[in-house]
């Protein structure tokens, strides 16, 4: 990974460059296009639930859920795959761990205000409790789930 220092990120040119660098770091392209949209879809034997517009509301309606909004070509999203898999296994029966592919569910992505990838949203009974944007640790996400499970 290369590091680029911007002299003035507040100028229009600097902001455009910073935005372009961020998009390139996350795999480039728009959220509606991808060379392989199914690249990060959970495998059939996974404890992670693949969510889309038709299943989202019913899946998160009862209990605690952690939902990752991901872009298949985002390197940070790919780096989080083992963490999300482990969370799904460790919290199986206590919380739902699901993923939304932003390339195929842009309306759902927009409805939840997702602007970067990966975005993790913790919900209880369909109500948003917490949000985490970007790559993070297993411990941080597990703590968010535990807090939701312990909430009255």
Q: Which residues carry out catalysis?
A: 74, 77
Euclidean distance between CA atoms 9 and 1, whole angstroms: 20
Comparing C-alpha atoms, which of 24, 42, 41 is closest to residue 104?
Answer: 41
């Amino acid at each position: 990974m290369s590091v680029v220092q911007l002299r003035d990120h507040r100028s229009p040119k600097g902001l455009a460059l910073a935005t372009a660098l961020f998009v390139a770091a996350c795999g480039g392209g728009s959220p509606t296009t991808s060379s392989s949209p199914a690249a990060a879809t959970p495998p059939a034997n996974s404890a992670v639930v693949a969510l889309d517009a038709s299943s989202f509301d019913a899946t998160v309606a009862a209990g605690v859920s952690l939902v990752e909004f991901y872009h298949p070509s985002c390197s940070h999203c790919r780096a989080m795959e083992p963490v999300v898999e482990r969370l799904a296994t460790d919290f199986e029966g206590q919380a739902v761990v699901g993923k939304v592919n932003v390339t195929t569910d842009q309306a759902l992505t927009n409805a939840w205000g997702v602007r970067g990838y990966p975005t993790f949203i913790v919900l209880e009974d369909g109500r948003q409790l917490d949000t985490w944007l970007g790559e993070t640790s297993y411990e941080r996400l597990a703590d968010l789930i535990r807090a939701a499970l312990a909430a009255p």
